Structure 1
């Protein structure tokens, strides 16, 4: 079960990153909306670029989370077989 516990801890770390990035994207999108309303082109472009970068990072972390989930399940199955 030790390997399973390690995998779960990794999952929790990745989930924290996912939640942080999602919150940051929402924050930036709110700023983006405000800038659109104010028609502030220069700052708007900067915020849009930041949103794009964070979405790319979010996708990367989501893929890592999926991979980590699969690894956690394999670890759990392996520990269940060896302890049976």
Structure 2
């Protein structure tokens, strides 16, 4: 069960990262909308670069989270199989 707890703990840390990046992405998109309204091309380009980088990081974290979910499920199955034998 120790392995399972470690995996769940890692997954919770990943989830915190995921939520943080999502919040930052939303914030940057709001800034992007405001800059569009102001038609400030230089700042707009900079924030668009930030948004693209955050989207890339978000996709990477989502893949990590999916992999961790599979590890948690497999660990839980192993624990239950061992307990039922």
TM-score, normalized by length of structure 1? 0.98
Give the C-alpha shift of residue 45 in structure 1.
0.2
Two-structure CA RMSD over aligned residues (Å) = 0.4
Structure 2 unaligned segments of length 5 or more: list them. Answer: none
CA distance in 1, matches of 2:30, 2:68: 31
Aligned match of 2:26: 26
Give the C-alpha shift of residue 61 in structure 1.
0.3
Q: How many residues align?
A: 84
Structure 1 unaligned segments of length 5 or more: list them. Answer: none
CA distance in 2, matches of 1:4, 1:76: 6
* Per-residue Cα deviation, 1:42-65 (whole angstroms, up to 9, x for no partner): 000000000000000000000000
The list of structure 1 runs, each at least 4 consecutive aligned residues, that deviate by more than 2 angstroms after superposition, is none
TM-score, normalized by length of structure 2? 0.97
